[in-house]
Structure 1
């Protein structure tokens, strides 16, 4: 079965290898695609239908009914902002639909605080070759299909 994973934010796709964090760049937590977000305050939306399995102001995981889970990390090292500038719209354990707002944030404020606003979207526990993604430089809107996950 193929799972369509949607972009949580609007922006431009970049390869994971260009994410300024070795854990993401080396796909240690799984393969995926990163998005360089557009500036300005916006909602990060759920990438798939499922349950909010993990929720922090700067990151969240949505798990599908079949057990596959997608991590969305809003910026790099943004945990150091201790939630400042992030507003949660859901609670852990809540069921969400793809495209539903999960967290409001401002990539420009992340940049101003000295962090990268790049958003890795990771297929947790996926194996190489199970994702089909666009090439780098693709423009995406929040809610657009970002990649598909076969499994």
Structure 2
């Protein structure tokens, strides 16, 4: 029996419906099932590791943390932010490093993303997972901090 993996919110903010993500790749679940958070502009701009594991991919706008059992979570900081080429993002970790849930990974400013005409919404996706494996998804409208569980993966 697989233990549940608690995925914490990587940013403080409000849970939005996945279908409201302004990118069809995420809103249709093409990357995988998950949830999304609209960042709180008052909370500061640090994205943290949502689970314990290894940073298997790290870009200024996105990162993937894989747990020791292979389950992995993608955090994407805003929509179309790859087009910013790293402007407005500061890496606080290195690819391949071990991280613990809550550890700062990327510094960013959602207001800069917004000012650049992009959405600061943060999709959080369970990679290589079935939608049915997600549980305990935080309800739409819930205000979360980075210590709150966004969803679990079976």
Residue among 88, 94, 102 paired with 2:91: 88
Distance in 1 between the 2:109 and 2:53 partners?
25
User: What pairs up with 1:27-46 in 2 under 5 angstroms?
Assistant: 27-39=29-41, 41-46=44-49
Paired residues, number: 150
2:140 is aligned with 1:140 = no
Q: Which runs of 5+ in 1 are unaligned?
A: none
RMSD: 0.8
The residue number in structure 1 matching 2:16 is: 14
**Maintained 8 Å contact 1:54/1:61:** yes
TM-score (norm 1): 0.97
Q: Which runs of 5+ in 2 are unaligned?
A: none
**Maintained 8 Å contact 1:54/1:62:** yes
Distance in 2 between the 1:148 and 1:91 partners?
25
Residue among 18, 22, 25 paired with 1:23: 25
Distance in 1 between the 2:18 and 2:86 partners?
24
Runs of 4+ in 1 over 4 A off after TM superposition: none
**Maintained 8 Å contact 1:9/1:143:** no
User: What pairs up with 1:1-151 in 2 under 5 angstroms?
Assistant: 1-39=3-41, 41-132=44-135, 133-150=137-154
TM-score (norm 2): 0.95
**Maintained 8 Å contact 1:45/1:143:** no
